[in-house]
Structure 1
Amino acid sequence: MNGGVPLIRLRGITKVYGEGSTAFQALKGVDLDIEAGDFVAIMGPSGSGKSTAMNTLGCLDTPTTGTYEFQGVPVQSLGRDQRARLRRRYLGFVFQGFNLLARTSAQENVELPLIYRGEPAASRHAAAARALASVGLAGWEHHTPAELSGGQQQRVAIARAIVTQPAVLLADEPTGNLDSQRSQEIMELLWHLNHDQGITVLMVTHEPDMAAYARRIVRFVDGVVESDTRNPHPVGMHHSAFQTQGQ
């Protein structure tokens, strides 16, 4: 950390849905800094504002008031096309439900973001193969989601999210549909992407076991950040490798 501008800075972020008597204030003044290379778990009860905060960070939603700066650039001053470009170039998304195209191979699913970018076929194929290899799926390129386990489908979804080499990976309950063994494998993968490739990871989770992999845990309650704590001993590869042997 060079003491310069943080990768992400939120100041006084509010979000109101609806108007008049039906208005609901999901965020009530959120301040948050995220440095490049951090791994942040965002926690909080249902309705606490964590998903709204995540949508704001992902440029999927715009705040009602407050400032959001990404690499020092005020995001709210960007037009719709510029925000879409920021999403495509700098952000990768992973969801609980995988969101893969059903009758399409793993390779083609992973290539999708590059197709939107207009990348030529040869470089798309190479980048998708690299991304699949980095999530442990070399050799599975031509399998469709129906031929893959839930854990493998989520690996394809992660490969799709990182194929563009984003600065930030936003993961919304990435282990929500997986059993404990597959959840642990996915968390180790996210840990490696953060630790080895330097990708900043922002993850919404309600599971303390999953949050234990993060370097930092931010808790939302009633639309504000209730606590923001460093995790001095994130669960990483060395702690959990012995648990996965022979299972």
Structure 2
Amino acid sequence: MAPLIQLSHVTKTFGMGDAQFQALRGVDLEIAAGDFVAIMGPSGSGKSTMMNILGCLDVPSSGQYLFKGRDVGTLDRDQRALLRRRYLGFVFQGYNLLARTSALENVELPLIYRGDGREVRQTLSLAALTKVGLADWAGHTPAELSGGQQQRVAIARALVTNPELLLADEPTGNLDSERSIEIMRLLTDLNQTSGITVVMVTHEPDMASFAQRIIHFKDGLVDHVDTNQPVLA
């Protein structure tokens, strides 16, 4: 069975001439469906560029990125946007919630872009909030929620389209230790019970310990990969 994600000799170069910078220098990587992978590395190691490529927000300068066997580099901007809407969910360090709208309305946003009707949006969004344990908070605005609850709303928003791949960029970066563990347990549960593939960038070893594999980046390359015994949810 082909991997969900397969990268072969992927490079990414920014700028030209003397200002040229090679963020990725030939990355080979495979991620199977159902994996939980953490990506770590120092600043400038290429991990954020890697996430942008995995999320179809950017394309390699050379090499090949296959998602479900499809060469992402051959897709135009609209086709990549469609791929993101159908298969990918995103969670960021900043929750990126609309301040004056309820948790339910925030979760509805991807469904509005998809063109779903109001009744369908509300049903799916409430189900997503239920999945992250916030059904009773559906009518509350972000100001009425804790940081951990806001991140749960952001995760529900990422889940509402039923993605196959969840990309999480420093998802616990703005949270204290207790809330961070709460979020990591939620991601682990989603991975184990729903089969969602999770790829997470983190600089925190304690958070990476929840993953099945830890991929260490250095100078635009995969330096080494640790197979991990994940922390139990």
TM-score normalized by the length of structure 2: 0.99
Which residue, out of 18, 21, 29, partners 2:18?
21
Name the counterpart of 2:125.
128
Structure 2 SS opposite 1:41? strand
Shift of 1:103: 0.5
2:2 matches 1:5:
yes
Alignment of 1:163-174 (within 5 A): 163-174=160-171
Task: After superposition, give the CA deviation of every residue in 1:172-227 in whole Å (9 maximum; x if it has no partner).
Answer: 00000000000000000000000000000000000000000001100000000001
Partner AA of 1:14 in structure 2: T
Corresponding letter in the other structure for 1:227: H
Check if 1:138 corresponds to 2:132: no
1:244 corresponds to: none
Q: d(CA) in 1 for partners of 2:79 and 2:21?
A: 28
Whole-angstrom distance in 2 between the partners of 1:145 and 1:17: 37
1:157 is aligned to 154
Q: CA deviation at 1:15?
A: 0.5
Are positions 1:53 and 2:42 aligned together? no
SS of the equivalent of 1:194 reads helix
2:102 matches 1:105: yes
The one-letter amino acid of 1:94's match is V
Which among 174, 177, 183 is matched to residue 174 of structure 2?
Answer: 177
TM superposition shift of 1:150: 0.4
Question: What are the Cα deviations for residues 101-120 of structure 1, in whole angstroms up to 9, with x where unaligned?
Answer: 11010000000000000011
Q: Equivalent residue of 1:214, what SS? A: coil
Of 222, 228, 234, 2:230 maps to 234
Deviations 1:57-91 (CA, angstroms, capped at 9, x unpaired): 00111111010000001011111111000001100
- Partners of 1:235 and 1:122 in 2: CA distance: 39
Determine which of 32, 42, 51 is the counterpart of 2:39. Answer: 42
Rounded Cα–Cα distance in structure 1 between residues aligned with 2:190 and 2:232? 11
Secondary structure of 2:137's counterpart equals coil
For 2:188, what is the secondary structure of its paired residue?
Answer: helix
Alignment partners' CA distance in 2, 1:49 and 1:78: 23
What SS class does the counterpart of residue 192 from structure 1 fall into? helix
Question: Gaps spanning 5+ residues in structure 2: where?
Answer: none
Distance between the aligned counterparts of 1:59 and 1:95, measured in 2?
15
1:236 Cα deviation from its structure 2 partner: 1.6
Gaps of 5+ in 1: 238-247
Task: Report how far residue 229 of structure 1 moved.
Answer: 2.1
Hey, which bits of structure 1, 4+ residues long, moved more than 3 A? none
Taking structure 1 as the reference length, what is the TM-score of the superposition? 0.94
Amino acid at match of 1:197: S
